[in-house]
Amino acid sequence: MQLKRVVVTGMGALTPIGNNLEAYWEGLRTGKSGSAPITYFDTEKFKTKFACELKGYDPADFFDRKEARKLDRFAQYALVSSDEAIADSGIDLEVVDKFKVGVIWGAGIGGLETFQNEVINYANGDGTPRFNPFFIPKMIADIAPGNISIKHGFMGPNYTTVSACASSANAMIDALNYIRLGHCDVIVTGGSEAAVTMAGMGGFNAMHALSTRNESPETASRPFDATRDGFVLGEGGGALILEEYEHAKARGAKIYAEVLGGGLSSDAYHMTAPHPEGIGVVKVMENCLENAGLKPEDVDAINTHGTSTPLGDVAELKAITKVFGDHAKNISINSTKSMTGHLLGAAGAIEAIASILAMEHNLVPPTINHSVVDEQIDPSLNLTLNKAQEREVKVAMSNTFGFGGHNACVLFKKLG
């Protein structure tokens, strides 16, 4: 069958470097760090005392008090970012066939703060099981797309993909395929996460996954740098409106980019460590190129997973060199996690948005905080170090990988 074309017609972002799409791009363009000392709880006894929290976010700006109490922060972030994306798309909610509008969302963890606080309250009580009646619906990861659909009356496919840090990229690929096959006209997709909590920080610290650069949090996320010592935890949400091309054209929608394809693979190697030869990462990029009908030399830019971990960064760059060969040195490679930190299940969404904005503005955001060359990394690669680079970007790739060996890759193309 002839697959339908899929385009991006709206975007929304709630990130540690900007609380809307415009502010997010400004943060990316200028190389802004979102990392700072944690304000949500006392970090005195924690190994890592900083994270990429949202700045100036107040639930009261978006929800009444009663509604906010029913929503974990990850679900709030989903509603805020998706509302911006829906408004940005200009879609008429009174006219669109809501049976053909779905919501496919990504969250790696879901309501971690809700779970943490309910358990603490129970442990501090007298043993009587007094739990908030909203405990379960606040916690479950699928409540985010559920609330989006309830708010707007969208009655198409509705679920959450959970594949750790690849979750929202998985959601975008599922959304792409539902529209390609003609099952939907429009899908709200993306991801959100709110893991900057005592449990989140403590858990990742126990794994030795987080940077402990407490003396300089703003420089702690340093992908590709020889002194990198772990990732910086972030939070927020990103949303994209994926729409069938003819449907978008018929209503005169602004089109940001075409979604050309997506790839998936598994490392089948280790719970948390990447395969040392990057076999799964090689395969996911090859799968994505094949799915999109592109050759390696068609790709202009890659927003890497680039978490700032000693093993992961090297494995990914080796995989890029293997897939793209001599063309790898012509690709603008970057890691926007150097600015936003790692948003876990929301990473794929906000990084896809960064890739699309790079195409729109012909500007590749920098990989900030680089100072010491890693001799394990091929020096011929252009890692967009410390300063944004102007160039035409016609095709952009976005990589996301998750604990458990989950790999996802999405390709976007500029129209016209």
Rounded Cα gap, residues 149 and 330, in angstroms: 42
**pLDDT mean for each 10 residues of the chain (416 residues):** 95 98 98 98 98 98 96 98 98 97 98 98 94 96 98 98 97 98 98 98 97 98 98 98 98 98 94 82 98 98 97 94 98 98 98 98 98 97 98 98 95 92
Q: What is the 3-state secondary structure (H, E, C) of 387-402?
A: CCEECCCCEEEEEEEE
Question: Using an 8 Å Cβ cutoff, are 338 and 398 in contact?
Answer: no
Catalytically annotated residue among 165, 184, 288, 409: 165
User: What is the reported pTM?
Assistant: 0.97
| Nearest partner of 367 among 313, 294, 299, 310, judged by Cα | 313
* For the chain, domain boundaries: 7-250, 262-413
Q: What is the CA radius of gyration of the chain?
A: 20
Residue 78 CA: distances (Å) to CA of 84, 145, 224, 228, 356: 10, 8, 30, 31, 20
Report pLDDT for 392.
97
Helix, strand, or coil (residue 31): coil
Buried b (16+ CB within 10 A) or exposed e, 215-254: eebbbbbbbbbeebebbbbbbbbbbbbbbbbebbeeeebe
Q: Please choose, from the candidates 342, 91, 309, 124, the residue with its C-alpha nearest in 3D space to the C-alpha of residue 233.
A: 342
Q: What is the number of other CB atoms lying within 10 angstroms of the CB of residue 45?
A: 8
Among all chains, which residue has been given the structure tokens 């340093």? 222
Cβ within 8 Å of residue 386, ≥6 positions away: 31, 366, 367, 368, 369, 370
3-state helix, strand, coil in the chain (%, to 5): 40, 20, 40
Position 28 scores a pLDDT of 98
Alpha-carbon dihedral sign for residues 65, 71, 74, 78? negative
Instruction: Note the pLDDT tens digit of each residue in 263-302.
Output: 999 988 888 788 877 889 999 999 999 999 999 999 999 9
Q: Which of 66, 42, 38, 73 is nearest to 52 (CA)?
A: 38
Is 165 known to be catalytic?
yes
Place of tokens 């503005």: 361
In order of 294, 334, 385, 386, the CA distances from 31 in angstroms are 31, 12, 10, 7
pLDDT in the model for residue 241: 98
Domains 7-250 and 262-413 share a fold: yes
Q: Which of 132, 130, 136, 182 is nearest to 157 (CA)?
A: 182
Check if CATH label 3.40.47.10 holds for domain 7-250: yes
Q: In CATH, what class is 262-413?
A: alpha beta
Going by their DSSP bridges, the two strands 101-106 and 257-266 should be labelled as unpaired
